[in-house]
Amino acid sequence: MATFVLVPGGWKGSWSFEAVVPLLERAGHAVHALTLTGLRPDDDNATVATANLDTHAEDVLRLLDRAHLTNATLVGHSYGGMVTAAAADRAGGRISRLVQLDAYVPRDGESCWSSTNERFREVFAAGAAATGYAVRPPDGGDPRRRPHPLASFLQTIRLTGTLAQVPRREFIYCSGWEDRTPFAELRTRLQADPKWQVHDLPTGHDAMHEAPEAVAALLLGECIADASTLRRQACH
């Protein structure tokens, strides 16, 4: 039995994995989906204003401690890749597999702001204009999204090198939004790194909603069998 820890992207909570969690549990695995500090419905303005990347990494580490987790698979979506990278680097060997699902894969000293493209920097800046500390969700999308702590997008990550010791590291590239994705160059970089396995998934960014079965299959290490819907691009 594997243990999955799922970390959502910007503006989202544990609900973003709601279609994937039962598929993993049905396969017999333990699943913990997080809502990060500042994104919880009852978080006050002070909590949102003070939450940063370190806060979110600590959210993951507290879960590992509280649930006594070792040999865990850590999954980050989008901004959540910043969090999973920071947490894995500080987890003391308790992470056996890191899966970055259309997510940032930062190097030491990088931030979400520095790693993204100009389109998303404009979204961050415009979204924070009203408060200066919380980025409102982009227009459209799930109404459960909440303003995201700006500091977590801006704070640079500090990596000691421990992250590079995670035995299994994978990147899932969602190719269905190539006109907007900030991850195309990252995909090229990781494809050239023999320590990373790169999968292509022909969906938009929110693959957990568009193709939960395909996401679950990749997390379970399976190939996607339905060529008519996903053209077998979800496995290599």
The CATH number covering residue 106 comes to 3.40.50.1820
- Whether the per-residue pLDDT at 226 is higher than 70: the answer is no
The pLDDT assigned to 231 comes to: 39
Report if residue 81 sits inside a domain: yes
pLDDT digits (tens, 9 = 90+) for 92-141: 999 999 999 999 999 999 999 999 999 999 999 999 999 999 999 999 99
Rounded Cα–Cα distance for residues 106 and 83 (Å): 10
Report if residue 236 sits inside a domain: no
Report if residue 46 sits inside a domain: yes
Report if residue 199 sits inside a domain: yes
Which residues does residue 33 pair with via DSSP β-bridges, in sequence order?
A: 6
Report if residue 235 sits inside a domain: no
Q: Look at the chain and report how many structural domains it folds into.
A: 1
Range of the domain at 120: 3-230
User: pTM of this prediction?
Assistant: 0.93
